[in-house]
C-alpha cells in the first residue's frame, strides 16, 4: 500500500487543491488527513472539497474538535484553533457532523517499505501534545508509550521532521495550509519508504481568494500564513513555551 498524508490544512483551500493535484499523480491507495482541516480562511469550502474525496480517512485534530465545540455552543477548549468563532458561523450542520466523524487515530498494517503505521494529530494519546524535532528523547518516549507500530505520523506543530527514538520512527508531515519556515504546502508520501514533500502554489492568487471572503479573520490569515509565514526560529520559540507549559501542568 502507498499512502499520501496531509495535515493541518487550516482552511487553505488553494494549498489543498495544489497538493491534491500532486497526490493524484502519485496514485496512492489511500489518503490520510492528520487533522485540523478547516479552521482558517475558507472553512466551508475546504470541508466541501474534502467531502468529495474517495479512499480517504480523517484523524481528528484539536482545531476540528474546537470548531465542533464552537458550533455546538460549548465552552472553548484550551486549543480551539484559529478563528474558531468566525469559522463556526461559516459552516452548516452537515459540515459540522463531517468534522465530528473523524477518528482519534488511524492504523495501517502494511505500507510499502515502511511497515505498520499509526497516524495521529499531535500524539497517539491526544490531539494537543506538543513536541518537535528538538524535544528530548525521554519526553518522546512518554508520548509514544504503548505504541505498537514501525512508524508514527503526526502533524499539529506545522513543521516537518523525521526522527527515530529507540526503534520507533516518528515523522511530522508538516502543514498543507499554515506552514512555518518557508512558504509552501507541506505533506508526505509513504511507500516505498518515507518522502517528505513540499508543493508550490500561487500564493498571491490564494490570498486574493481569501480576501474575497470580506472578513478580517480571512484577511489576517492570508497576510500571516500565505503571503508570509512565521520563521522556524519564531515557531520553535513558541513551541518550546507551549511544551514547557504542558510538561509543568502534567508533572
Q: How many domains does the chain fold into?
A: 1
Q: What is the CATH number of the domain that holds 51?
A: 3.60.21.10
pLDDT score for 251? 67
Give the separation between CA 193 and CA 189, rounded to whole angstroms.
Answer: 8
Q: What percent of the chain shows pLDDT beyond 70? A: 100
- pLDDT digits over 116-144, tens only? 999 999 999 999 999 999 999 999 999 99
Handedness of CA 54, 24, 177, 237 (dihedral sign): positive
Check the CA dihedral 92-95-99-101 and report its sign: positive
Contact between 88 and 124 under an 8 Å Cβ cutoff? The reply is no
Looking at residues 167-181, what average pLDDT do you find?
97
Q: Print the domain residue range for 75.
A: 3-249
- Nearby residues of 42 by Cβ (< 8 Å), 6 or more positions away: 11, 12, 13, 209, 210, 213, 218
Amino acid at each position: 500500500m502507498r499512502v499520501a498524508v496531509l495535515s493541518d490544512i487550516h482552511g487553505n483551500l488553494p494549498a489543498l487543491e495544489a497538493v491534491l493535484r500532486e497526490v493524484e499523480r502519485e496514485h496512492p491507495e489511500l489518503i490520510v488527513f492528520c487533522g485540523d482541516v478547516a479552521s482558517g480562511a475558507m472553512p466551508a469550502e475546504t470541508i466541501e472539497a474534502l467531502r468529495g474525496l474517495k479512499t480517504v480517512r480523517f484523524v481528528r485534530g484539536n482545531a476540528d474538535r474546537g470548531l465542533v465545540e464552537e458550533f455546538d455552543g460549548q465552552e472553548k477548549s484550551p486549543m480551539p484553533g484559529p478563528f474558531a468563532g468566525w469559522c463556526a458561523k461559516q459552516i452548516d450542520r452537515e459540515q459540522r457532523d463531517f468534522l465530528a466523524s473523524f477518528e482519534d487515530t488511524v492504523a495501517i498494517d502494511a505500507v510499502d517499505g515502511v511497515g505498520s503505521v499509526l497516524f495521529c494529530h499531535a500524539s497517539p494519546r491526544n490531539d494537543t501534545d506538543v513536541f518537535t524535532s528538538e524535544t528530548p528523547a525521554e519526553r518522546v518516549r512518554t508520548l509514544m508509550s504503548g505504541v505498537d507500530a514501525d512508524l508514527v505520523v503526526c502533524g499539529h506543530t506545522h513543521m516537518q521532521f523525521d526522527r527515530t527514538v529507540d526503534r520507533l520512527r516518528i515523522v511530522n508531515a508538516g502543514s498543507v495550509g499554515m506552514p512555518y519556515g518557508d512558504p509552501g504546502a507541506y505533506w508526505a508520501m509513504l511507500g516505498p519508504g518515507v518522502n517528505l514533500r513540499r508543493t508550490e502554489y500561487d500564493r498571491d492568487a490564494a490570498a486574493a481568494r481569501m480576501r474575497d471572503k470580506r472578513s478580517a479573520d480571512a484577511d489576517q490569515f492570508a497576510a500571516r500564513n500565505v503571503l508570509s509565514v512565521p520563521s522556524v526560529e519564531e515557531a520553535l520559540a513558541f513551541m518550546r513555551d507551549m511544551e514547557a507549559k504542558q510538561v509543568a501542568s502534567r508533572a
